[in-house]
């Protein structure tokens, strides 16, 4: 990116992404950057851009989240959009080494996620097998109770009927 401004290239890249996506959240921006490993890297850049009046940010109170923190959203201001129009864009996302390192990190994360998901699937399958066995026992008890009720309706008491408690 040919940068004639006093902003760092990474600041400009974050500004471009805020302009590109409609009201993106920090995580969306981070995932698009090869150099941002944590949301804090994006928050730092957004803070700098906001102090210069190039973006506006806010907490999205309406979005449901698992944690206690609401996602931070951003949009470019008129000044930010004007700056982007004046800056010559270059699609270079960093050196080949930096981009390869980013891809390797992401691949490691995907492998870890895949491994964790695979373990969860195996555990769920094992639990399902256990529940299937329990359901077979319940089904057998119900069939036995039904046969007893058909043979002598009203003559069966709870003391006479025992359940499989294996």
Q: What are the pLDDT digits (tens) for 62-87?
A: 766 666 678 888 889 999 888 888 87
Nearest to 84 by CA among 57, 49, 58: 49
Q: What is the pLDDT of residues 81-121, one digit of tens each?
A: 888 888 765 555 566 777 788 788 888 888 888 888 999 99
Q: Provide the CATH number for the domain around residue 84.
A: 1.10.10.10
Q: Which burial class, exposed, middle or buried, applies to 22 when counting CB atoms under 10 A from its CB (0-12, 13-18, 19+)? A: exposed
Final residue in a domain of this structure, among 61, 93, 125: 93
pTM: 0.50
**Dist. CA 5–CA 13, nearest whole Å:** 13
pLDDT over 80 at 165, yes or no:
no
| Residues of the domain holding 143 | 95-166
Whether residues 124 and 86 share a domain: the answer is no
Whole-number pLDDT of residue 24: 82
What tokens were used for 102?
């980013």
């Amino acid at each position: 990116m040919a940068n004639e401004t006093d902003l760092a290239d990474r600041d400009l890249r974050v500004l471009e992404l805020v302009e590109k996506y409609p009201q993106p959240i920090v995580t969306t921006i981070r995932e698009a950057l090869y150099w941002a490993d944590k949301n804090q890297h994006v928050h730092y850049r957004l803070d700098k851009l906001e102090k210069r009046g190039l973006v506006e940010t806010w907490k999205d109170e309406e979005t449901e989240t698992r944690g206690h923190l609401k996602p931070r959203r951003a949009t470019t201001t008129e000044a930010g959009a004007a700056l982007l129009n004046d800056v010559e864009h270059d699609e270079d996302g960093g050196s080949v080494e930096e981009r390869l390192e980013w891809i390797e990190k992401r691949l490691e994360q995907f492998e870890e996620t895949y491994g964790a998901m695979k373990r969860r699937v195996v555990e769920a399958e094992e639990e399902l097998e256990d529940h299937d066995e329990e359901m077979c026992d319940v089904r057998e008890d119900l069939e036995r109770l039904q046969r007893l009720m058909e043979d002598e309706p009203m003559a069966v008491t709870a003391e006479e009927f025992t359940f499989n408690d294996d």
